[in-house]
A = this chain, B = another copy of it.
Amino acid sequence: MTDYGTERLPGLPEAVTICEVGPRDGLQNESTPVPADVKVEFIERLADAGHTVIETTSMVHPRWVPQLADAEEVLRRLDRRPAVRYPVLVPNLRGLQRALDLGVTDIAVFASATESFAKTNLNRTVAESLEMFAPVITQARETGLQVRGYVSMCWGDPWEGAVPAPQVVDVATKLISLGCTELSLGDTIGVATPGRVVALLNALTAASVPIGSIAVHFHDTYGQGLANALAALQHGVTTVDTSAGGLGGCPYANSATGNLATEDILWQLEGLGIRTGLNLTKLVETSSWLAGHLGRESPSSVVRALRKS
């Protein structure tokens, strides 16, 4: 790969943690389930490329997410490495028990900032979903697990339009009170812009949520992901969720584009001299290999450009 130089920008962190969400958030949106052996190889390749946080699968009932019905097989077959965290999405106490039985040490719960999405995705009100998560988070923490709390639709919602920051702060602070060790702020339909990103971060820190506990999770539906991530990094965020090759996409957003691609932000971070521990060449190879299995080209600009060069 050609070296196009590095130049730091004041106010940005020295290092950023990328939380790779492709195997769960990405593959659960595939219309045809990906075989378990491909998933296992995908996750092993991501670890080989330097990832230290790989969201691996989901304990949601296979009726709702048939794409991840092989969660137990994947977890059993994975050669989990001590230096890598493999968080698993857990919807309820039954899912937590399955995760614990499989030796999982990191879980995530999936909350919504809006009533419309809570109803559509969880068939519950926001308050009911938090009640459902409360014992899960408590028991997980008592067992020594790390618990990530997703907050989806943090800036916009397809039914409600712009989501006011106080509404997100309310859900986020409740998740922290319940014991979440990290929050992931999701722009589930990709409509956020940098000012609104920063305003929400400011509202959260004003409500005593530590900036170090906040991850950002941008979708690239409107091409805004990377600029929003830059604005978040400029305001103290050091964890960004991305997916290999831009896998994924919210089924309620009218677009095929998905998560911000790991390779696209890595190009930026390398140019900014920010450490991630990731190897871009290996990631591009992995996304290209997976694209072959999925039968379509990666939407990542970097993957496309480097494959052609």
Contacts and interface: CB of A to CB of B under 8 A. Distances in A.
Contacts of A301: 220-224, 255, 257
A122 interface: no
Interface string A186-199: 00001111111011
Given A7-B195, A230-B230, A305-B254, A224 B268 contact: yes
Interface string A1-42: 011111111000000000000000000000000000000000
Contacts of A2: 156, 158, 161, 191
Interface in A252-309: 253-257, 261, 264, 267-268, 270-273, 300-302, 304-305, 308-309
A161 B223 contact: no
A161 B4 contact: yes
A305 B222 contact: yes
Contact of A193 (B7, B155, B198, B229): B7
Contact of A223 (B195, B273, B300): B300
A1 to B, nearest CB: 10
Interface residues of A, number: 52
B302 A222 contact: yes
A127 interface: no
A194 B271 contact: yes
Contacts of A84: none
Nearest to A155: B4
A207 interface: no
A221 to B, nearest CB: 5
A226 to B, nearest CB: 4
Contacts of A268: 193-194, 224, 227
A254 B9 CA distance: 28
A5 B276 CA distance: 32
Contacts of A162: 3-5
Contacts of A229: 227
20 contacts: A4-B156, A6-B193, A6-B195, A7-B193, A9-B195, A9-B198, A192-B271, A193-B267, A193-B268, A194-B230, A194-B268, A195-B273, A220-B301, A221-B301, A222-B301, A223-B264, A223-B300, A230-B230, A255-B305, A257-B301
